[in-house]
Copies of this chain bind each other. A is one copy, B any other.
Amino acid sequence: MHLIQVINPNTSIDITEIINQTANNLKSDYIDISVISPTKGGVPSIEGNFDVAIANIGVLDQVKIGELQGVQGHVIACFSDPGLLAAREIAVKPVIGMAEAAMHIATLLATKFSIITTLPRTLMITKQLLQQYGLIHHCSAIHNVDFSVLELVSKQEQAKEKIIECCIESKMKDGIGAIILGCAAMSNLAPLLMQELRIPVIDGISAAINIVELLIKSGLSTSKYGDLDFPSKKTLSGIFQYLN
């Protein structure tokens, strides 16, 4: 039995709960999954660079704790992949972000995909990630449903309708073969949308958990040689002392 921890980088219990539902479907005899969120505070949702900067710290803390507790892998369950490379530096076990997982898997299923996100300003981060991972030419369009992350929870039904509508339009117009759900709070909609649209609809949390499982089975993990080696020994001070 191998334990994967899925880190919700924001502090909203409702979103942790949605992630939990998604993760539960992937538990097996081989894999156990725990879903956690920052224990020392943070930001209730992540929709810009400031939010990402705050969320990074919670992710790093949880990765550090998880490593000490002996988890076998880490998933970052926010579509901004906050703290991804930093987490790889401090972990021996594999760390996978939900955005990178979804994007890589999508290119194996279709020549082009579109992404459905929340607010317009999240676009700059999504594009930056696509660029960094090298997959921007596989992305046909990024659509915003113009609901904030928290509104996906508070206005669940309207949001769901808007997402469905947006996916249908994307399927008709974007010249794509698959759709990526660009927010952890949308992850529970993937099965419904896939049934509705009859094309692959990819939830990055499931994708990331599956990739971590794949890596565990393969005996592969982050290279600790070179760029992603442990940070050189330095003492953190002040409010960061607990991260030493």
Spell out A's residues near B (CB within 8 Å): 11, 38-45, 47-54, 56-57, 60, 83, 85-86, 88-90, 94, 96, 100, 104-105, 107-112, 119-121, 123-124, 128, 131-138, 148, 171, 175-178, 194, 198-200, 202, 206-207, 210-211, 213-215, 217-223, 225-229, 231-232, 234-241, 243
Give the oligomeric copy count: 6
Task: Pull 20 A–B residue pairs with CB atoms less than 8 Å apart, ordered by A.
Answer: A11-B237, A48-B86, A48-B89, A48-B231, A53-B57, A53-B86, A54-B236, A109-B223, A111-B124, A123-B227, A134-B136, A134-B138, A175-B226, A200-B221, A202-B220, A207-B218, A210-B214, A211-B214, A213-B214, A239-B239
Q: How far is A179 from B192 in the complex, measured between Cα atoms in Å?
A: 40
Contact with A54, one of B105, B109, B243 (Cβ below 8 angstroms) = B243
Cβ contacts under 8 Å, A100 to chain B:
108
* Bound-state Cα–Cα, A202 to B128, Å: 25
- The CA-CA distance from A202 to B219 in the complex, in Å, is 11
**In the complex, what distance in Å separates the CA atom of A33 from the CA atom of B19?**
33
Q: In the complex, are the beta carbons of A110 and B223 less than 8 A apart?
A: yes
- Could you tell me the distance in whole angstroms from the C-beta of A12 to the nearest C-beta in chain B? 10
**Chain B residue at minimal CB-CB distance from A39:** B238
